[in-house]
Chain A
Amino acid sequence: MRYLRYILKRLCVFIPLFLIVSLIVFFALRFSGVDPITVMLGERQATPEVMAALRAQYYLDDPLISQYLRWIGNAVTGDFGVDYINHQSVSTLIAQRLPITLGLVILSIVIGTILSVALGVLSSVREGRPTDRTISVAVLILVSVPPFLLAIITLLLLSVFAPSVGFIGAINSVSDYWARIPLPAFVLSLNMVAIVTRVTRSSMIIQLKSQYTSTALAKGLPAKMVIWKHAFRNALIPVLTIVSIFAGTSISGAVLVESVFSLPGLGGLLTQAIKTNNYPIVQSALLVLLLVFLVIGLVTDLIYAAVDPRIRKSGKGITA
């Protein structure tokens, strides 16, 4: 019951947040000073009648607020309109590319969380010993390498050691998908591994020093149980916080990693659209990426509350 109420409370925060974010995305683009008509026409010349027709087709003469409402209203039903240049359905463009970006992001978060929890816990249990110091140094270096650089290094290594592995071409089948996604996802996860390992380690160290850990040891629990059932479950809360924040970095990173591995995901669509000022695509692709991020935040909040009874009671979450 309490959990259900918590979910409702979080949704009450989630929906307005989503709307505000969509407002920011929409209005930021309107204030760019680029006239959509010049984008649509490109090099071509057009008569005033044609231009007026285009303005009407895209409702550009309506007040901004009603343009926004039309966009967000249709977006909720999954209709993002057509783009300025090729007049294709933006929804179709996004739908084709979303699975790749989404798979990349989710897989990288899963891989990243598992790896960093393992490393962080190991590091905290061995605090100050060689294992811990080695992990710390590795993490420091990893944290300093941007994800796209890691991706490039991976490509470089592949070109040397496994030149037959190809990373070009369309993804047409499920088997293509699973052949192409995991490696980039792993590469994408490495940055997160670095940060989350650090957080897990320091959070675990605090928990391992806390008094309830001593109680658990003193009552005769085996060390493994004290570490995982007691310390780790408490340490998980800051870890989840950082994972949900890192989901954002993961999404940004996905844009770059897609580009390095030439994966046809949302990132390429978005950057190409920014370069050409193709705003229907820019705003909708951004909105979808931000929605993915907010949903990941919501999911971590729910896990968070499942772990900690105090959160269920207070109704607070990680994201605003």
Chain B
Amino acid sequence: MRKYLLKRVFYMILTLFLVATITFFLMKLMPGTPYSNQQKMTAQQIQIMNEQYGLNKPMWMQYLIYLGGMLHGDLGVSFQFSNQPVSYLIASRIGASAQLGIQAMIFGVVLGIVIGSIAAVNKNTWIDTLCTILSIIGKSVPNFVLAVLLQFYIALKLGWFPIADWGGFSYTVLPTIALGVGPLAETARFIRTGMVDVLNSDYIELAKAKGMSRYGIVWHHALRNSLIPLVTLIGPYTVALMTGSMVIENIFSIPGIGEQFVKSILTNDYPTIMGVTMLFSAGLVAVILLTDIIYGIIDPRIRLSGSGD
């Protein structure tokens, strides 16, 4: 187990290194300079500034300098926020994004499992139909549309929650719902399909024959087995939440990282693009590793060593 983990961590670092390399060179292909007043600067001024920031050095040298800095935890200094270290920018903004992401994930997955199980157990009844319709609608509405609706009706018209801004828990409710409904709908559908399959299988028949209670069956057999495919979805959910956060943070004026990322791309803020890309990548790679480990724990049929060598 330890050997396997070490191996995976090594691969993780390798992946991150490759991501850093690819992003670095792709980013350098982006047109324009990182200077926000580029339009009014002459070519000569831009050249002097490039010398200032070491942007006139050969690309491989910039790359080595960047990698060297990264090893020391130095992600460089942002261009759009002058003199602001990227590590500080990320640190001061990740809290909101992480909180929102985790809340949305918990909200979506837990409620999704409940709704999905209810639907599966009551298969082909009106409860099932209702759950299915709800989850389909949840899946069909883009989160930015939902966010606008929630903000307008729940916050402005009814005044139940704050319209925007970031403060106490009440500020997180609407963005969490807007962000979490996608995973919720997805989870519910996955759990339902998985559980219907499992409930049809022989060992459930056996458990029934043994006189096990309905909820006992669901809890002990069905849920555990239908959770397996769900685990692989955590990776895509993380991506969806990262992408979603860019939009949701914009609508609810939340000081998060997703929105910052869009802006850094549009302003050619190279160090910030790199920093956030690396952060997203590291998060995703970690989630994938975690997924594999959990997968092994839940489903004893797949031994971790089996996928290693």
A, B assembled together:
no
Chain B positions near chain A (C-beta within 8 angstroms): none
Chain A positions near chain B (C-beta within 8 angstroms): none
